[in-house]
């Protein structure tokens, strides 16, 4: 029986998970990763990734009781920039996806005529969360690093490079560099205008492609066997979508780890939209529509750190107390934009807000309001997907937030749709394994892989009376953001004048 090792690095931890081809998890290990953060910067250390990757690889094989790994693949957060020198060393900390320093560079690129032709080809707008503005920022603000950079990589590319010595990425990751999945090329004219050499970007391949074996010295260091084959999967949001078992029109998935990833599959041609991504899924002759926000489960970590650090069982107490508050948190609404927001509002300046805070409110109500905001996040993305011409029938839930039953029920009530909670919460890792097994010929189809890996633990039906109440709240939720939008910009101007760049280290973002 074949097995697959998945190196899965999110924003808060790096994991190694070993799956058998029948879908069983036979070994795993995880270590937290540190994040350096201030008002604009969100950074991690690539050297820490690689050091901790070696640790979790060893531990997961010990847990599985085997060193016989047939395939290894990597799936990480997308749109995080790593600058690598000619010797394969990172030239400093990585700019993570929610890093906002390249806001001005994104605006500057949008005004270039070369970008207009790129936009016509890709349909992808420009924002600070993407790769080219980040690279352009490095060129303008740290030219010494720009000049020394041999390759501009994502974390996916970096870890694969460490394993194989090859700078290669999949076409879905490459889209974040404004690569055209249709013409299969990087935006040459735009790159030339920006002064970025084409050869500094990774070579692009299809997902599921065999890249090569692990380097001999790395095989010895990691304790792998020399025949282990490294195979491309893709970035975490795509892998988690595939791992959710979505195979039919109208099915969608909500994977809420640190961030919330909400996507649906369609075999129709959706409309273009600046609010959500429309990604061609060549392997299945379909499109994946949706996007990721900046914090999903990370909101719950924030609540824990603010209010529940002294509690022995913080998540259980949070759920109990949120259930003791009323629907609507006794008139309290939370805007969940603690790190700005990506899908669907794309506003780097937005910040978190409790609206309607009164003297009577307690941490129970504040926790309830944060729980309810996770459902409004989903609904706002669904609204953008519908504008894209695609409808949603049901939602498959996975990720850490799916472990909290109250949040799953709140989401069902807010969406007014059946919610299917999966047995496997680690859908990012299982999705990467499914890609490898299907594309390497071990599984006959993605549906056959989904039948093994994506079983349903329970179905939650919506309470439609609660749904009606939540619709009143949702209108105020949307109106609150629209009203506060100009004030968020003024707040940013104020923060810039205060010049408070004190860095905070966060473990478990």
SS3 9: strand
- pLDDT, residue 44, reads 95
Position 96 pLDDT exceeds 80? yes
Read off the pLDDT of each residue in 392-402 and give the average, rounded to a whole number: 91
Cα–Cα distances (Å) from 114 to 84, 120, 128, 278, in that order, read 27, 10, 18, 22
Neighbours of 285 (CB within 10 A): 8
Query: What is the structure's pLDDT at 223?
Result: 87
CB 181 within 8 A of CB 175: yes
pLDDT at site 89: 94
Q: Rounded to whole angstroms, how far apart are CA atoms 168 and 211?
A: 8
What is the mean predicted confidence (pLDDT) over 169-176? Answer: 95
Tokens of residue 178, six digits? 């404004």
Structure tokens at 45: 């250390």
Token duo for residue 174: 């490459």
At 506 the pLDDT is: 62
Check whether 214 has a pLDDT greater than 70: yes
Structure tokens at 454: 């994506």
Question: Tens digit of pLDDT for each residue in 359-391?
Answer: 999 999 999 999 999 999 999 999 999 988 888
Give the model's pLDDT for residue 285.
84
| CA–CA dist 417, 399 (Å, integer) | 19
Q: Which tokens is 450 given?
A: 């989904």
Q: Which two tokens stand for residue 419?
A: 């919610």
Whole-number Cα distances in Å, 210 to 11, 157, 214: 26, 14, 11
Label residue 37 by pLDDT band (50, 70, 90).
confident
Q: Is the pLDDT of residue 312 over 70?
A: yes
Q: Is the pLDDT of residue 464 over 80?
A: yes
Question: What pLDDT shows up at residue 40?
Answer: 76
How many whole angstroms separate alpha carbon 153 and alpha carbon 202? 7
Supply the pLDDT for residue 124: 85
- DSSP for 161-199 reads HHHHS--EEEHHHHGGGT-BTTTTB--HHHHHHHT--GG
Question: What mean pLDDT do residues 2-8 have?
Answer: 96
- Range 279-293 average pLDDT: 87
Neighbours of 111 (CB within 10 A): 9
Report the pLDDT averaged over residues 194-211.
96
Confidence of residue 504 (pLDDT cuts 50, 70, 90): low
Mean pLDDT of 274-286: 84
Structure tokens at 104: 């001005």
Tens of pLDDT, residue by residue over 104-159, are 999 999 999 999 999 988 888 898 989 999 999 999 999 999 999 999 999 999 99
Determine the average pLDDT of the residues in 397-420. 94
Cα-based distances in Å from 287 to 86, 136, 222, 295, 471: 37, 30, 37, 24, 29
Residue 474's pLDDT is what? 97
CA torsion through residues 241, 58, 423, 230, sign: positive
Determine the distance from the C-alpha atom of residue 472 to the mean position of all C-alpha atoms in its chain, rounded to a whole number. 30
Predicted local distance difference test score (pLDDT) of residue 390:
87
pLDDT digits 0-9 by tens, 228-248: 999 999 999 899 999 999 988
β-strand pairing of 13-20 with 333-335:
unpaired
Say what the pTM is.
0.84
pLDDT at position 507 over 60: no
Query: What residues contact residue 395 under an 8 Å CB cut-off, 6+ apart?
Result: 252, 253, 254, 378, 411, 415, 417, 418, 419, 420
Q: What is the pLDDT of residue 247?
A: 85
3-state SS track over 413-447: HHHCCCEEEECCCCHHHHHHHHHHHHHCCCCCCHH
Region 340-356: what's the mean pLDDT? Answer: 94
Which structure tokens are listed for 412? 């069902």
pLDDT average, residue stretch 82-109: 94
Whether the CB-CB separation of 10 and 471 falls below 8 Å is answered with no
pLDDT given at position 480: 97
| pLDDT the model gives residue 272 | 67
Average pLDDT, the chain: 92
Question: Two tokens at 95?
Answer: 């700019």
How far apart are the C-alpha atoms of 287 and 270, rounded to whole Å? 8
Band (pLDDT 50/70/90 cuts) for residue 500 is low
> Quick one: tokens of 121?
């080809």
What is the predicted pLDDT for the residue at 495? 87
Q: Quick check: 508 pLDDT over 60? A: no
Of the chain, the percentage scoring pLDDT greater than 90 comes to 77
pLDDT above 60: residue 321: yes
pLDDT of residue 502: 65
- Closest to 370 (Cα-Cα) out of 412, 406, 396, 333: 333
User: Which residues, in sequence order, are bridge partners of residue 156?
Assistant: none
């Amino acid at each position: 029986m074949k097995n697959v090792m998945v190196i899965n690095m999110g924003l808060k931890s790096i994991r190694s998970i070993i799956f058998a081809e029948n879908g069983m998890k036979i070994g795993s290990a995880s270590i937290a990763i540190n994040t350096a953060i201030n008002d604009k910067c969100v950074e991690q250390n690539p050297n820490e990734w690689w050091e901790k990757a070696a640790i979790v690889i060893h531990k997961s094989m010990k847990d599985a009781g085997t060193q016989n790994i047939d395939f290894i693949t990597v799936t990480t957060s997308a749109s995080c920039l790593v600058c690598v020198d000619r010797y394969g060393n990172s030239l400093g900390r990585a700019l993570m996806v929610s890093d906002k320093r390249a806001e001005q560079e994104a605006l500057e690129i949008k005004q270039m005529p070369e970008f207009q032709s790129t936009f016509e080809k890709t349909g992808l707008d420009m924002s600070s969360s993407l790769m080219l503005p980040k690279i352009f920022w490095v060129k303008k603000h740290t030219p010494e690093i720009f000049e020394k950079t041999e390759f501009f990589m994502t974390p996916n590319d970096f870890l694969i490079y460490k394993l194989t010595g090859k700078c290669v990425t999949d076409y879905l990751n490459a889209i974040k560099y404004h690569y055209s999945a249709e013409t299969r090329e990087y935006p040459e004219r735009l790159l030339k205008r920006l002064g970025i050499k084409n050869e500094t970007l990774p070579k692009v391949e299809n997902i599921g492609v065999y890249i090569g074996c692990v380097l001999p010295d790395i095989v010895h260091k990691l304790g792998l066997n020399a025949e282990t084959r490294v195979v491309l999967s893709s970035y975490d949001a795509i892998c988690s979508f595939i791992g959710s078992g979505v195979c039919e029109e109208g099915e969608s998935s909500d994977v809420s780890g640190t961030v919330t990833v909400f996507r649906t599959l369609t075999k129709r041609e959706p409309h273009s939209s600046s609010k959500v991504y429309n990604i061609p899924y060549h392997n299945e002759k379909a499109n994946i529509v949706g996007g990721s926000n900046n914090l999903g489960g990370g909101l719950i970590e924030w609540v824990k750190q603010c209010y529940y650090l002294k509690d022995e069982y913080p998540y259980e107490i949070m759920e109990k107390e949120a259930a003791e508050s009323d629907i609507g948190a006794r008139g309290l609404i939370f805007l969940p934009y603690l790190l700005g927001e990506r899908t669907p509002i794309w506003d780097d300046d937005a910040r978190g807000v409790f609206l309607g805070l009164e003297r009577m409110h307690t941490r129970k109500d504040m926790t309830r309001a944060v729980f309810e905001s996770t459902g409004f996040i989903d609904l706002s993305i669904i609204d953008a997907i519908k504008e894209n011409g695609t409808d949603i029938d049901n939602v498959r839930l996975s990720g850490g937030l799916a472990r909290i039953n109250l949040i799953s029920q709140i989401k069902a009530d807010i969406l007014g749709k059946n919610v299917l909670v999966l047995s496997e919460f680690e859908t990012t890792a299982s999705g990467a394994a499914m890609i490898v097994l299907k594309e390497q010929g071990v599984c006959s189809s993605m549906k056959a892989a989904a039948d093994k890996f994506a079983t349903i633990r329970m179905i939650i039906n919506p309470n439609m009376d609660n749904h009606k109440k939540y619709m009143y709240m949702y209108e105020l939720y949307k109106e609150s953001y629209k009203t506060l939008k100009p004030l968020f910009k003024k707040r940013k101007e104020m923060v810039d004048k205060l010049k408070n760049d004190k860095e905070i280290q966060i473990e478990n973002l």
